[in-house]
Amino acid sequence: MPIVDAQIHTWGTGLPSNLSHWQITHFTPAEAIALMDEGGVDAAVIHPPGWDPNSTEMAFAAVRDYPGRFAIMGSLPLDRPETRARIAGWRDQPGMLGLRYTFLHDPARQWLKDGTIDWLWAEAEKAGVPIAMLATDSLEEIANIAQRHPALRLTIDHLGGRGGLTTLKDAAAMTHMPALLALAKFPNVAVKATGAPGYSSETYPFRSMHTYLRQIFDAFGPSRMFWGTDISKMPCSWRQCVTMFTEELSWLNDQDKSLIMGEALCAWWGWNRPT
């Protein structure tokens, strides 16, 4: 069963601007590979972080240097006119699967709400470029986008929550769940089950999160629920992030696990991994 992490960050300089991440000046693809091998992780999708201006170049090098181990969800500036023209050829870049954005703060959150970036959804749908997003307070707006653009594959990050951008734990961190589950009726919306341990006040196996994972599974199914870690802010090892799903969620059968742990993600984002 291939195990593919839906989201990690790698960087070569600077401290993470999000204090929930390891406050270290580098976490390189080579360092990630060592931990992935130790944890039984076959591959990972790099989301280049903004705190290192060279992180995207590093990600492309990782795709080249470690065939089949890394792919990329990148980004383009939403406030530059030339961005629109670049979307059509975005996936022509080696290892590039799609686009990923954070819509938790203005002006990006307002752009999503008021239609300023409606061109993004139209161009990405036309080009077959999937989009992932962190957008906890805008899930109703995303429902409208999903309905208007049925061929656009959208992925909601971090169980629909704020990931490391909140100190809330357990039920207090999951108040958005009704809005998230309402998106399941749109077949073009999926959920990254990334970073689940970080929302829990408990230790492994982080049982306070199991109820929410089951709700997501029941609503979206194993073909639209993707395991992952965002490892640089997890309170546990990569191996424990894996076994939380493969050993502790007794309601997942073997086929469910194969999909959730990597197969479904690769199909959704069109990653034809060399093995």
Residue 102's H or E segment, with its range, is strand 96-102
pLDDT given at position 195: 95
What is the layout of strands, in order, in the sheet containing 131-134? 4-8, 43-46, 70-74, 96-102, 131-134, 154-156, 189-194, 225-228
Name 8's bridge partners.
46
Give the model confidence (pLDDT) of 126-183 as tens digits: 999 999 999 999 999 999 999 999 999 999 999 999 988 888 999 999 999 999 999 9
Mean pLDDT of all residues in 211-217: 98
Question: Which residues, other chains included, contact 221 with Cβ-Cβ below 8 Å and sequence gap of 6+?
Answer: none
Tokens 């049925």 — which residue? 150
- Per-residue pLDDT tens digits for 99-123: 999 999 999 999 999 999 999 999 9
Is residue 274 very low, low, confident or very high in pLDDT (cuts 50, 70, 90)?
confident
Model confidence pLDDT, tens digit, residues 29-85: 999 999 999 999 999 999 999 999 999 999 999 999 999 999 999 999 999 989 999
- pLDDT exceeds cutoff 80 at 275: no
Q: What domains, with CATH codes, occur in the chain?
A: 4-269 (3.20.20.140)
Residue spans of alpha helices (H) in the chain = 29-39, 55-65, 83-86, 108-114, 118-127, 139-148, 177-182, 210-220, 238-246, 254-258, 264-269
